[in-house]
Amino acid sequence: MDKSNHWYGHSRILGRYCGLADDTPKRIQGFLQHGWNYLHGFPPDDHWCSPGYPRFVWSDVLRRRGWSMGRRGHYVIGAPWVYLLQLEPDLGRVPERKGTIWYPFHGWEKSSVRGDHARLAAEIREVETGPVTVCLYWLEFANPAIRQAYESMGFRVVCHGERGSRWDRKGRGFLRRQLIELRRHRRVASNRLGSALFYGVSVGCDVAVYGDPMQYEDERPEYGGTARRRRLWPELHGVHVDRALAAETARSELGFDHQATPEELRRMFGWKRVRSA
Give the pLDDT score at 93: 97
Binned at pLDDT 50, 70 and 90, residue 2 comes out as confident
Lowest-pLDDT range of 35-39, 76-80, 133-137, 140-144 = 35-39
Measured distance CA(242)–CA(184) in Å, rounded: 20
Measured distance CA(23)–CA(10) in Å, rounded: 14
Task: Return the top range by mean pLDDT from 30-34, 45-49, 107-111.
Answer: 30-34
By CB atoms closer than 10 A (0-12, 13-18, 19+), residue 118 is middle
* H or E stretch at 136: none
The 10 Å CB-count burial string (b at 16+, else e) for 178-206 is bbbbbbbbebbbbbbbbbbbbbbbbbebb
**Looking at the predicted structure, is the pLDDT value of residue 202 above 90?**
yes
**Looking at the predicted structure, is the pLDDT value of residue 276 above 60?**
no
Give the pLDDT score at 82: 98
Measured distance CA(108)–CA(88) in Å, rounded: 28
Nearest-5° angle of CA 276, CA 25, CA 104?
A: 125
User: In the predicted model, what is the mean pLDDT of residues 59-74?
Assistant: 83
Binned at pLDDT 50, 70 and 90, residue 1 comes out as low
Domain boundaries defined on the chain: 3-88+255-269, 100-254
Q: Is 102 helix (H, G, I), strand (E, B) or coil?
A: strand
Which residue type occupies 198?
F
Which CATH topology does 100-254 take? Rossmann fold (3.40.50)
Question: Are residues 19 and 36 in contact, defined by beta-carbon separation less than 8 angstroms?
Answer: no
pLDDT per position as a tens digit, 95-146 = 999 999 999 998 666 567 778 999 999 999 999 999 999 999 999 999 999 9
Q: Is 38 helix (H, G, I), strand (E, B) or coil?
A: coil
